[in-house]
């Protein structure tokens, strides 16, 4: 009985490893295919620096942990504009704390430094999603 159970576990572990290997192989093939198709004159924006927000006192005091998700436009001119709140994770954080965290995130998002996205050799604007995590120490 014990030998049979050990064989079943070994078989299950082997199958899991094979599935993981197949998944990784497929992901690598897709990534290589994407690189091959990419136009050398086109690229996404590259973030050079992304300042971290300060953890507001009230949120720190209450030991609130969460993530603020924003949407913004990285402009061809190098500016970060149109910064909008998308959501907070988890959703049960009190509204006044979400507002304080969001205000801080928007403040630092404006200070992001990046190289603009390129399309056919010209700088272009692009939408980005920004996530800021807050964890009590």
**SS3 (DSSP) at 15:** helix
Q: Which residues of 94-117 are buried (b: 16+ CB within 10 A; e: fewer)?
A: eeebbebbbebbbebbeebebebb
With contact defined as beta carbons under 8 Å apart, do 128 and 116 qualify?
no
What percent of the chain has a predicted confidence (pLDDT) above 90? 64
What is the third-level CATH fold of 46-134? TolA/TonB C-terminal domain (3.30.2420)
The string of pLDDT tens digits covering residues 86-135 is 999 999 999 999 999 999 999 999 999 999 999 999 999 999 999 999 99
Phi, psi of 84 (to 5 degrees): -130, 145
With contact defined as beta carbons under 8 Å apart, do 37 and 102 qualify?
no
pLDDT of res. 136:
85
- Candidates 84, 81, 79; CA nearest to 114 is 79
With contact defined as beta carbons under 8 Å apart, do 114 and 48 qualify?
yes
pLDDT of res. 37:
53
């Amino acid at each position: 009985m014990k030998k049979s159970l050990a064989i079943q576990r070994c078989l299950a572990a082997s199958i899991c490893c094979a599935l993981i290997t197949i998944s990784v192989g497929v992901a690598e093939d897709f990534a290589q295919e994407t690189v091959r198709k990419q136009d050398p004159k086109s690229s996404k924006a590259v973030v050079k620096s992304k300042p971290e927000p300060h953890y507001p006192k009230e949120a720190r005091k209450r030991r609130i942990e969460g993530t603020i998700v924003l949407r913004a436009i990285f402009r061809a001119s190098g500016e970060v504009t149109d910064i909008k709140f998308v959501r907070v994770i988890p959703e049960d954080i009190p509204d006044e704390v979400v507002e304080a965290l969001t205000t801080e995130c928007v403040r630092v998002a404006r200070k992001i430094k990046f190289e603009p996205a390129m399309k056919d050799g010209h700088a272009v604007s692009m939408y980005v999603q920004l996530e800021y995590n807050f964890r009590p120490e």
